[in-house]
Amino acid sequence: MVHLRVLILAMLLPASASVRGSDGRGTVTPPSAASLRTTAPPPGLVAAAADRQASGTVRATAADLEWAREFVARQYVVDGTASSLARVDPHCRTGCELSVFPGAGAGDFGTLKAVTGIDMGIFSMSGFGLEGMIDFRNRTDNGTIAGARVVLTWEDIETAREHGEYAYVFYFQSRVAPQWQLDGDLSNLSRWYAEGLRVLQLRYGDKEGHEPDERLAYGSYEGDERGMTELGRRAIAEMNRLGMIVDVSHLSRQSTLDAAALSNKPVLASHANAEALTPQDRTKDDDELRAIAATGGVIGVTPIGWMLDRDGDGKAGMEDMVAHVEYIAGLVGIDHVGLSTDAALDGWDPDSRHYADAGLAAFDRWVRLTAELHARGWSEQDLTKLLGGNFLRVLRDVLSGR
């Protein structure tokens, strides 16, 4: 959902995180997706989530925040839809100019971990086109963009961590013409994969306007009952074969259910919230959430204001973010929930309907969320899964499963 203006600017620079392999953060060895396909959430977690949601009070203290900063510094944090941009004027409220992090030069991600807590992001290439993605990759590989590594394999993630590099996974969510067209067959998927694409969303809501021979699925706002096309069904099989992750964030209800049933690899809703708390076409209902989880997949909860708003008053904040995280964890299990910014590093413009509150727009939003969940009694093990372990499991299963 990042604006095209943001997407075009994003190619100018990546951001690197301080990712150390020997500082006590350890090696992530997540469970296989196959072991999770039939896993039900423990009854205790469901009850605890209901109790926490009912309380709804943000109660993190300064001590919780300090604990969270130290804890997040030791974790490998994965953002389901990350950006490399921030507002040039931090006081701007609307139509804000954005610049690549840290704001000058060709790009250097060396301080991103310290500023945001994030080690790896899934980066949208939607507005760049294939040639733009290739250029981005080349400038990373030759060091023009410093402190970063493009993720093509699971081993790239391990190498990035060992060398203290920010890792990013190429993704696109929109195939608006003339970019990223299949021309009615699937041969381009292999080329996109060869050039670095690793996550593909099958449909971007109702915004793409494809002809019948180009459409893979139906999106949110296009009717709940409209599902995958024949081309889309074959695309999922080819993506599974290649090792390309299926994303269903903006898909209609039936297309989401179809994709989850068809894929033999974990499926992502890289940025999606719970319809039960915020009823609208862009959020996912319980059946969709369960279907995604049944593949071994992950739902990335996103701090977009109108996707968090639980009472329809146009306002949202940390309490609502916590409620969505805990609702989904209670419904499908902690192994299937992650976090996804889907905005500039310092959030959406404050006057935008996407903006929630200052805490969720802060560079260190995931540190602040961790502090709140810690105050609510979350275990370190569950926080590790939420902050990145679950996304890492999916990446390992798909990227090393060929």
Can you list the pairs that 179-185 forms with residues at least 24 positions away whose Cβ atoms lie under 8 Å?
Answer: 179/126, 179/127, 179/128, 179/129, 179/130, 180/126, 180/129, 180/130, 181/214, 182/214, 182/216, 182/231, 182/235, 183/214, 184/213, 184/214, 184/231
Which of 21-30, 139-148, 222-231, 344-353 comes out lowest in average pLDDT? 21-30
Q: Would residue 23 count as lying in a domain?
A: no
pTM to 2 decimal places: 0.86
Average pLDDT over residues 240-266: 97
Average pLDDT over residues 224-237: 95
Q: Would residue 30 count as lying in a domain?
A: no
The domain that holds 270 is classified in CATH as 3.20.20.140
Q: Say if residues 219 and 205 touch (Cβ distance below 8 Å).
A: yes
Residue 28: predicted pLDDT: 33
Q: Would residue 239 count as lying in a domain?
A: yes
Per-residue pLDDT at 3 exceeds 60? no
**Residue 42: cis peptide before it, omega within 30 degrees of 0:** no
Q: Say if residues 132 and 170 touch (Cβ distance below 8 Å).
A: no
Q: Would residue 378 count as lying in a domain?
A: yes
Domain that holds residue 357: 4-18+39-399
* Contacts (Cβ under 8 Å, ≥6 apart) of 324: 273, 274, 277, 278, 301, 308
What's the number of domains the chain is made of?
1
Q: Would residue 373 count as lying in a domain?
A: yes
Question: What is the distance, to the nearest Å, from the Cα of residue 246 to the centroid of all Cα atoms in its chain?
Answer: 12
Q: Would residue 33 count as lying in a domain?
A: no
